[in-house]
Structure 1
Amino acid sequence: MAAPTVAKSPPELVPPAGPTPGGVLPLSSIDKTAAVRVSVDFIQVFPPSSDRGGDDQVATMRQGFARALVPYYPVAGRIAEPSPGDLVVDCTGEGVWFVEATASCSLADVNGLERPLLIPKAELIPRPPPEEKLEDLILMAQVTKFTCGGFAVGICFSHLVFDGQGAAQFLQAAGELARGFPAPSVAPVWDRETIPDPPKLPRGPPPSFTAFSFVTQVVEISPESILRIKDEFKAATGETCSTFDAVTAAVFKCRALAVELADAAEVRLGFAASTRHLLQGVLPSVDGYYGNCVYPVGITRSSKTIREAPLPEVVGVMREAKEALKVRFTDWMHGGAKDDHYNVPLDYGTVTVSDWSRVGFNEVDYGFGEPGYVFTLNDDVNIVASVIYLKPPAPKRGIRLMLRCVEEPHAAVFADELAKYA
């Protein structure tokens, strides 16, 4: 068959469906510290459904966005920098850019948008008209219709304004309002100024960046393998561990075995842990808060230690790091932190993990039903090794790992090690 093509309409602004406040809103200290001024791209894949209304459903989805932008009025604004380094949200009420597109093929023709992608990333995600700066925008959407009746919804959001859970909360609200809800089931909360702004730690030397040639790999970890790791940990310690602990420990150990750094070289694992539960009493309401609520958890060991440690021991290291979160985050909020935990060395010894399987993108329903599959598209980030947890497409179960964390010379060994847990 001919190579699939995508025809995009010009981007159109979807403004709020009603009047919204103006003015400037501050970002929180966590927004400005934890996030950088980057956009996050991802795709929600909605398989064909016999009860779907095509163009009517897309129009209804647009209306859901317009209605959601009334309670979530900051999202209709723009990121501004009134003075160097001072980033704020200017509530201009302009709206979000929305793109409609049509593919020349069915979802089956492009393997359900599984990797490797048979349609270029640029065809699936929204971008603004040339007069707009991407880094000033807070959220955009693109709906691509396939000949089979399925849809792909491409979302681009600003990490300065949302973390993953916050972005999913907005999209869930847009879906609810598209489906006729009178109001979002969770009322949005801004209140970023209530989060303490701790004294700035002395700046170290600027980080050095190396552009790596990471290989994209997709690996499924079965429920049976996850249970086996948990059972091994319980047999060794008498304690239980989470799926995240079990799978992340396995990835950390497999990567250390694959990259074979010198025995004394540091290997590091970092992930952003949710701190919403630790902001009870700080925020007027934790429910509905859609800003960044994360704090970095880090593990540093020698390469030899992780390579040679039994897997239950590596799981234990994961749990210890997570248990220290409350003390570390509280110290940071009150200005007692001695180190900048957000500053992680970006060399080949570091790998970062993000769990997208539970933030809420898989539960968004714009009127198409819930997506069959959600995946990220930030494949151009090559300065730090990354692992992203996804829900595999139904009917598969377990955890899908989207991996960009080793270069070609180490890819085969890494895949072989991970296959032991598939």
Structure 2
Amino acid sequence: MASPNVLTFKVTRQNPELIPPAKPTPHEFKPLSDIDDQEGLRFQLPLIQFFRRNPTMDRKDPVKVIRDALAKALVFYYPFAGRLREMAGRKLVVECTGEGALFIEADEDVRLQQFGDTLQPPFPCMEELLYDVPGSGGVVNCPLLLIQVTRLKRGGFIFALRVNHTMSDGFGVFRFTSTMAELARGAEIPSILPVWQRHLLRACDPPHVSYMHHEYGNIPDIKETLIPLDNMVQRSFFFGPGEISALRCHLSPHLRRCTTFEVLAACIWRCRTIAISPNPDEEVRIIYFVNGRRLFNPPLPAGHYGNVVATPLAISTAENLCKQPFDFALELVMKAKSQVTEDYIKSVANLMVIRERPHFASDVRTYIVSDLTHFDSDNLNYGWGSPVFGGPAKGGVGVIPGLLSFNIPFTNNKGEKGKLVPICLPANAMKVFVKELETMVKRDDDISLGDAQKSSIFIGCTKL
């Protein structure tokens, strides 16, 4: 069976087409929230879903089914059929033009099985599975959605999506794709209707910042380059119950009740810092996206699909992070996360207006992570059943390549449920990262992470 690392193919694709809403929609201008249009979210986020052949659907064409579902979904989510415009103060506004989303029909002469026994990012030949249509990749005056559906040899298909992150966070994108799936299966309207209401996260007048927000502070100008972007590799790591249990064993008893996300974030931040080897007295950071929906009182409408996120920051000198016990890293992560409240998120919105929407404080010494493990891929059934894999197409996306990663829900080839974490690092740093991570998760019955074919945690690798 072909390895995902060596699989090559050539997709036959049709010319991109614009899919407008299936019915007329209002022409209006809808401002984004002051959380949506911050600089750190002004990028395109690629997602991918793999579907097996379903014999009961052999007479159905997935391209037509999903194209039609997209047109129907855009009736309800009609801002996605528009284009962003930038106004005074760098304010982003959607002009609901009804132009539509970009859609690509494609065929590929390989079978799903040829992608390997375990589907995980990074995927080979992503440029074939999600074609970067010339002129489509900007933030303003560009399509807000790009979808490619690729039929596979002997059944099955790949659904790839690129979305402008200013329009939606992970939860919002999940709502949109879930709606497409419902409509593809025959629903007339979504079970949860979308709600715009971006004014709920608009800055006050006058704006007032009530927290320090170190995550948007200035970073010292350090000329040294730790991450050469011309020699990057991606690998995915699986953390099941055994690996998480092993990480907790490094903690003091009073900290072992931390969340899985917290312990993973602290572990990877620490291992990554050791791998990139900054000077001991330099500051290193971790920033993580916190879904703030549950923090609002009264709750936000269930159909709100904008960005409702905060990006708290933990900071340390490299020496303290790498040499102190693991408790040190975890306590920093937990303390930063505990700051996030409804008032904290509203304070971020005010800061965006005052400082003209800055990027959060990130450079190569920053690890950024987003937790996507609460999204149920069973809701992404377009008629062929749940996807074999559904989630981000790669790590390292964003304005600064190599920094952003995700926790993705995943079941390994042993049937264990856990979290998959794609990591993007220079080749030499990746070797050190693997060695450090091996030390953290190793148990008496473990084998070396260096044996990529046998290790349960090491999943895949590709060179960028």
User: Same fold by TM-score, threshold 0.5 exceeded?
Assistant: yes
Residue 416 (structure 1) aligned with residue 435 (structure 2)? yes
Partner of 2:163: 157
Percent identity between the aligned chains? 27
**TM-aligned CA distance change 1:62 to 1:226, over 3 Å:** same
**Take 2:228 and 2:385, find their aligned partners in 1: how far apart are those partners?**
39
- Offset at 1:345? 3.8
Equivalent of 1:386 in 379, 398, 404: 404
Indicate if the aligned counterparts of 1:328 and 1:337 stay in contact, CA closer than 8 A: no
Structure-to-structure mapping, 1:255-404, within 5 angstroms: 255-281=272-298, 285-326=300-341, 328-333=344-349, 343-360=359-376, 363-374=379-390, 375-377=392-394, 382-393=400-411, 395-404=415-424
Taking the aligned partners of 2:112 and 2:80, their CA distance within structure 1 comes to 31
The code of the aligned residue for 1:386 comes to L
Shift of 1:207: 9.4
Partner of 2:42: 37
Deviates more, 1:106-115 or 1:249-258: 106-115
The Cα of 1:384 is off from its aligned counterpart by: 4.9
Matching residue of 1:71: 76
The whole-number CA distance in structure 1 between the counterparts of 2:29 and 2:355 is: 32
Specify which of 245, 251, 260 is matched with residue 227 of structure 1. Answer: 245
2:109 maps to which of 95, 104, 108: 104
Q: Does 1:58 align with 2:77?
A: no
Q: Which moved more, 1:310-319 or 1:48-57?
A: 48-57
Q: Partner of 2:54: helix, strand, or coil? A: coil
Over 3 Å counting, the alpha-carbon distance change for 1:400 and 1:342 in structure 2 is: farther
Aligned to 1:253: 270
**In the aligned structure 1, how far is the partner of 2:27 from the partner of 2:219?**
37
Call closer, same or farther: CA 1:125–1:207 in 2, change over 3 Å. farther
What letter matches 2:17 in structure 1? E
Give deviations 1:28-55, integer Å, cap 9, x for gaps: 1001126443211121111233323364
C-alpha contact 2:351 2:357 (8 A) present in aligned 1: no
Which residue identity does 1:299 align to in structure 2? A
The AA in structure 2 aligned to 1:186 is: I
Task: Mark the CA change 1:80 to 1:206 in structure 2 (over 3 Å): closer, same or farther.
Answer: farther
- SS of equivalent residue, structure 1 residue 391: strand
* Kept in 2: contact 1:49–1:150 (CA 8 A): yes
Query: Which residue matches 1:216?
Result: 234
Cα distance in 2 for residues equivalent to 1:204 and 1:274: 21
- Find the aligned partners of 1:26 and 1:207 in 2 and give their Cα distance: 34
Say if 1:362 and 1:403 are closer, same or farther in 2 by CA, change over 3 A. Answer: farther
Matched, 1:138 2:132: no
Give me the whole-angstrom Cα distance separating, in 1, the residues matched to 2:256 and 2:147: 44
CA pair 51-393 structure 1, distance change in 2 beyond 3 A: farther
> Alpha carbons of 1:312 and 1:342: their partners in 2 closer, same or farther (altered >3 Å)?
farther
The aligned length equals: 416
How far apart are residue 335 of structure 1 and its match? 6.1
> How far 1:273 moved relative to its partner?
0.8
Q: Is the 8 A contact 1:388 1:402 kept in 2?
A: yes
Which stretch of the first structure deviates more once superposed, 204-213 or 136-145? 204-213
Deviates more, 1:322-331 or 1:149-158: 322-331
Q: Deviations over 1:383-403 (max 9, x none)?
A: 452332223355342221100
Q: With structure 2 as the length reference, what TM-score do the two structures score?
A: 0.80
Question: 2 CA distance for matches of 1:336 and 1:379?
Answer: 25
Decide which moves more: 328-337 or 131-140.
328-337
The gaps in structure 2 that reach 5 residues or longer are 210-215, 442-456, 458-464
In 1, distance between residues paired with 2:74 and 2:135? 22
For residues 356 and 31 of structure 2, what CA distance do their matches in structure 1 show?
22
Alignment CA distance shift 1:3-1:245 (3 Å): closer
Closer, same or farther: CA 14–113 of 1 in aligned 2, 3 Å: same
Q: Deviations over 1:334-371 (max 9, x none)?
A: 66999999644433321111223334566411222111
Q: Which residue of 2 aligns with 1:173?
A: 179
Matching residue of 2:444? none
Q: Tell me if structure 2 keeps the 8 A contact 1:346–1:384.
A: no
Which is further off, 257-266 or 333-342? 333-342
What is the Cα deviation at residue 10 of structure 1? 1.2
Cα offset, 1:196, TM superposition: 2.7
Coordinate RMSD, CA, aligned:
3.3
- Structure 1 residue 380: Cα displacement: 6.4
Of 132-141 and 68-77, deviating more is: 132-141
Per-residue deviation, 1:23 = 1.0
Residues in 1 aligned to 2:46 and 2:59: alpha-carbon distance in whole angstroms: 24
Distance 1:313 1:92 in 2: 51
1:200 deviates by 8.5
Aligned letter for 2:290? A
- Does structure 2 conserve the Cα–Cα contact (< 8 Å) formed by 1:48 and 1:151? yes
Output the CA distance in 1 between the equivalents of 2:333 and 2:297: 25
1:169 and 1:279 map into 2 onto residues whose CA distance is 19
Give the counterpart letter for 1:414 in structure 2: F
> Which sits farther off after the overlay, 29-38 or 315-324?
29-38
Residue 83 of structure 1 and its aligned partner are, at CA, apart by 5.1
Structure 1 pair 361/162, CA: closer, same or farther in 2 (3 Å)? farther
Of the structure 1 ranges 381-390 and 221-230, higher mean CA displacement relative to structure 2 is found in 381-390
Partners in 1 of 2:160 and 2:380 — Cα distance? 13
Greater shift in the superposed pair: 300-309 or 51-60? 51-60
- Give the counterpart of 1:81 among 56, 80, 86: 86
